Amino acid sequence: MIPKKVLEEKFRKFVEEDVGQGDITTLLTVPSGTIVEANVLVKESGVIAGIDEALMFLESFGLQANPLVSDGSEVKTKTAVLKITGNARTLLSIERTLLNLLSRMSGIATVTRRLVERLRKAGYETRVACTRKMAPGLAYFDKRAVMIGGGDTHRLHLDDMILVKDNHIAIVGDIKTAMKKVREAVSFSKKVEIEVSTIEEALEAAEAGVDIVMLDNFTPKQAKKTVELLKKKGLRDRVLAESSGGITEKNILEFAAAGVDIISLGEITDSVKALDMSLEIVKVRKRKS
């Protein structure tokens, strides 16, 4: 997690964009000094994510907030997940940003949890990972929601792992040259992954000593064959296998059955279905004098 002081700059920018020169509706209708109590309600069942961030957000805008559920909880429709008390003008000015953040994060956590559960129920320990296919500017929130949902965050940005992809190979020429260049200069602190498009490349990469091999757009059958050949060649213990591309909620069990260690899906974070939520004012008080 990022310290509140750092994160609140992101919140400030979100609100700044939305508020423009001020929430004129609220200015004209809500008397200065009005204090309200309000709840955030979910309007469909799902997994809640973003409670910690919401608390920091609200606090940094001078509002008091109490979590009614914790991050990662599965909730039913109509559950109140957060109780907020404070200045009505401020609350109404940031309501939409708050809900947008919470409903996106919860939407991500919900689908992640569903995929993970599907694997666990079928007896697989395979990891479900997201990718860097995200909404620009929201990496922290999207990755955190995946983590809360029980998924693996994969690379956080471009500097935390070596991931040689098809376009790198297209420039360098071949996997062997790419791996040689990487090995010569990579920091001991980084893992190395390479994206491959054939079984032969997968074996070549594993032999070259990568930590993870990404089986790009492999069918479950191809993935299975790859895993078997890795075992046969005594490489299986030294390398993780990640399936990526073409994976859906429907066929995810087939990929798990293929024996890969990680299954990654861009859709988790680039095609989010927001979890429906709303803010409901439950009490109106005047300024204490």
Q: Where are the beta strands (DSSP E) in 28-139?
A: 35-42, 46-47, 64-67, 74-75, 80-87, 127-129
Stretch that binds a copy of itself, among 18-26, 76-84, 196-204, 222-230 (CB under 8 A): 18-26
State yes or no: residue 93 binds a copy of itself (CB under 8 A).
Answer: yes
Instruction: Take residue 11 and report the two structure tokens written for it.
Output: 């919140």
Residue 127 found at the interface with a copy of itself (CB under 8 A) = yes
Question: Does residue 157 bind a copy of itself (CB under 8 A)?
Answer: yes
Query: Per CB under 8 A, which region of 116-124, 198-206, 219-227, 259-267 contacts a copy of itself?
Result: 259-267
Number of residues that bind a copy of itself (CB under 8 A): 111
β-partners of residue 39 are 83, 280
**Choices 77-85, 115-123, 181-189, 252-260 (CB under 8 A): range interacting with a copy of itself:** 181-189
Nearer to a copy of itself, 222 or 266 (CB): 266
For residue 133, count other CB atoms closer than 10 A to its CB.
14
- Under the binding rule (CB under 8 A), the answer on residue 119 touching a copy of itself is no
Give least dist CB 122 to a copy of itself, A.
20
Does 158 sit near a copy of itself (CB under 8 A)? yes
Decide if 191 is catalytic.
Answer: no
Shortest reach from residue 230's CB to a copy of itself, in Å: 16
Return d(Cα 107, Cα 233) in angstroms, integer. 42
Of 60-68, 115-123, 228-236, 250-258, which part binds a copy of itself (CB under 8 A)? Answer: 60-68
Is the Cβ of residue 3 or residue 123 nearer to a copy of itself in the bound state? 3
CA distances from 181 to 107, 161, 194, 200, 241 (A): 40, 15, 13, 20, 22
CA 216/CA 132 separation, integer angstroms: 15
Among 42, 46, 54, 104, interactor with a copy of itself by CB under 8 A: 104
Furthest CA-CA distance within the chain:
78
Residue 246 interacts with a copy of itself (CB under 8 A)?
no
Q: Which of 118, 120, 190, 225 binds a copy of itself (CB under 8 A)?
A: 190
Taking the alpha carbons at both ends of the chain, their separation in whole angstroms is 39
Residues contacting residue 182 through CB under 8 Å, at least 6 positions apart: 162, 164, 192
Does 250 interact with a copy of itself (rule: CB under 8 A)? no
Q: Which of 33, 64, 78, 137 binds a copy of itself (CB under 8 A)?
A: 137
Per-position DSSP letters for 259-270, written without gaps between them: T-SEEE-THHHH
113 binds a copy of itself, rule: CB under 8 A: no
Catalytic residue among 133, 191, 224, 273: 133
Interface of this chain with a copy of itself, residues 202 to 231, rule: CB under 8 A: 212
Strand order in the sheet with 262-264: 127-129, 262-264, 240-244, 212-216, 192-196, 162-164
CB contact at 8 A, 125 and 116: no
Q: Which residues are catalytic?
A: 133
